[in-house]
Structure 1
Amino acid sequence: ENFSCCLLDSEEENTLSSEDEIDIECEILEKERDEANEKLSRMEEASAQLLKELDVLEMQFQIERSCRETAESFALKVNKDFKALKRQSQAILPLIPEMPENFSILNLDPEADPSPETVSEEESSEDPLLMSQNQIREIQSSVDRLLGEKIQLTAQVELLKKEKEDLKDKLVLEVEEKEALLRKLSKQSRTVNKMKRVSQLVTEEFTEMSQKLEMEQGLRQHAEVFAHQMLVKQQETQRQIQNAENEKQLQQALSQVTEICKALEEIRLYYQNQMSQTAAQDLAAVRTKLEMSEKERSETEIQLRDSKQSVTALQEEIKLLKDKLKEMEQLPSIQSIQLNEAKENPADPPSLVPPAPPPPPPPPPSSAHCSSILDEYCVDFLTEPAITEDMKARAVDEMMERIKKGIILKPILRTPQVGLPLEQRSENRKSAVLELQGMLVSTRRPGPRRVESKKRFSRTVGEAELQMVLQRRRRAMGDEKGTPPSPSKPKAVSVSSSSPWAGESGSAPVLRRLQQNREKRISRIKASESIIWEEK
């Protein structure tokens, strides 16, 4: 949440800084625009004044030119009239002395009659000057009046231009204010959109966090209840295990496995219902947990099968040991029969001196000793399931402590024995079987051969016992496809086994050797079992 808030703040600061930079650039450009507009207005005012002055000068020049043209035209007319009058006066000069008194009445020149027409012509010759002067005066007055009107109009035009410039300035100011208002509105809309976005993100995060908290609380309560139930059941099973037998333990273990499977199925169904709400990582974690639990279940089933097989093997070994005890009790009668056969056998070389009487046979091993050996063997076999149960109890205690402290549950640590694949287990079992066969072959190395008629029934019984033990070992280790022993080997062993009987003078060393061989066999079987357990 803090990281997301920091990201949002940084984005807002970046956007605000960029907007501030844009606003500063806009203000700078607006100032430059205003300065350029002021310069343009000044230039326009100067050019307008120059144009006004030029218009006034042109008007004055035109007036002067028109006045000059009219003056020149009047001057030409006056000159023409003056020349005509001069000619007339020169023509009249020689006639002056002969003129009568009524000279004014005479019409010397036909063209110039003293009639009213001539008078009108003279008046008309004088009138154009007056007319032209009057026209000039009228024109000047009209020009002055027009100039005044023009000045007034120019003043009005200037006023109108000033008003127009004022209106333009007002429009520019209003446009700038409008642009500023639009910018403020856009900024406010952006900030409002950002606030809406942030509020939506915050609400979504809050809803997600609340859902996660509710789900975690429900899961924690469910896990605590389940762990408490498991603890209660574990305590009950431990109490029952202390007072119950192996079969009851197996049944309880199976019931626990079924309960665990049911609980795992319930958890799996619960997580399947929550799959739409949780993320992909949670789904992967739940699937891995389910796979781990299924692996543990399969491993517990395999361990149960192994324990069943080992129990059956132990029961068969107990039966074999009981049979051996019975055979040990029957040994004195067998030895007496063998001595009688030796006396009756003519193939033996005659002895000059009669053999000494054999010492009395040692007493057979007590049943207490054999039972103690069996008890030790059973204890060695049953210690490992107890160790695994202790490990499970410890794992449950650790899980409860983690639940109380609020730590995430983890799968129980498993021993490296469980992680081995089936192929490696089968190879280890085969190697253990081969080692047993090698040990038995090394003990069966033949000595100097004797006649086959000197076989002993006890040796053949021992070989059959060894074969039975090997078969039971193979069944216990799951290797029922082992090669059966060849029928030629017992003959060789029986031939070789007859050698110590010939060298002995009595039955006591034979019994000692039998006891030693039995002890060696038991020790080898224990060693092979320990190797098998280590390999498992």
Structure 2
Amino acid sequence: MVIEEVNSIQESLDIERTCRQSVEALASKLNRQNKSLKRKSMLYLAHLGAETIAEISLEDEDEEIALAQGETDCFSALCLSTITELRNKLKLIQEEKTQAALDLEATSEELRNIRNELLKEKHDNTLLIAETVRQKKLLAKYNRVSLFAVEEYEALQENLDLERDLRAEAENFAREMLVEQKKLNRQSQILLQSSSPSEALQTALRDVTKLTQALESQRLEHQQQVNVFEKQLRDSELQKEVVVLQRKLELLVDEKREYEERCNKAEVEAKDLKFTVEELQKKLQAISNPHPAPAPPPPPPPPPPPPPAQITNPLSSLLSMIRKKKEIGCDIPLVVQDSVKEPETDIRQQAVDEMMQRIKSGIHLRPVGQSPNRTRPAQRERTPSNSAIQELKGILDTFKRPSPHLKTGSPSTNAESELERVLQRRRGAFETSQESCLPSSPCPFPSSVLDVDRVRTAKPQTKQTSQESQDNVPF
């Protein structure tokens, strides 16, 4: 409503302003016309004399002339009616003008009042806005305080629940302790009634009760300390390091398994290579020994039973044997030599060349699935291989002993008998291995072939070729 009144007052003010401006423009125009008429009249009066000007009263005469002319001119009814109408209109306009002036004053007064009220309302609005801002800030503070209060309330509620639980547990424990105490009191009363206790027994009972209480308190303290230490251990960095080390240990265990698998595969491959080498040595032995040797002397008594089998590597023992025999090969006396052995040396040379060629070109490994078939002949012929190891050790011991007759070249009877015994045992082991129907029967040691050839060959050329073949064989 106030806005509508202000709008109406503003419109009336605009109308009054336009009316005022038009009235002022009309008044200024009339003033200019009056001034121009006065100037013209003064011009005309300048041509007249002073006497005539003094005698003439221009205003009265003009009015009288105008009235006379009007009276003379406007005596008709139409003119009189128009004059009266105009006069009435003039009166009405004047009354309206006065009324409009009064209304203008009233509206201006109302406008002033409304402006004052508007300013007051603006001031009140600013105060209200400031108050609302202050209330909002206060409400935000209350909200923050309420959040803190809610959090504190929740924490207190949790503590209260925890204390209630602890209190319930403590009450249960106290109830149990009270029951136990009552039982003990009954038992003590029964004991007191049954037998008159002495003061020492009473003091002992008191000490027992005190000790039980102290032990219970210490147990609770230790339990609390253990809980605290467990919590610290969970949060400590040592636990993290332990976890990391456990993971590393798991990785190392996995790597160990992989390496064990590789080692097993390598052992299987080594066994396959060993069997292939044994087969080659068997072929070489068959080529170098086409006919059986002459009747040997009567066999010596059987050797004592060998010690329990030791885990040895046959390749390493073979290498050590070959190295030892390289050093003393030229000084060992040989048995009686045949005069004509050239075809045998050629066959042996061919076999050595074939073996060297196969070693250089490579050996085709057997499939792993045949490994169980090989274990049985190996288990059957374990005793001759162990006996061969013992015999070779005995030969090495005899070679290591200082013999002054080696350099002179005179053969010793002990070495000859030992060598003949070794050859006889090798021949017996080879015959037993041939009797077995298994194709992959291992030879006790591949170096026995070289020993037989060294005993049988007589010429130094064969010695030199055998030494060169031993130097070139890459075991």
TM-score (norm 2): 0.28
TM-score (norm 1): 0.26
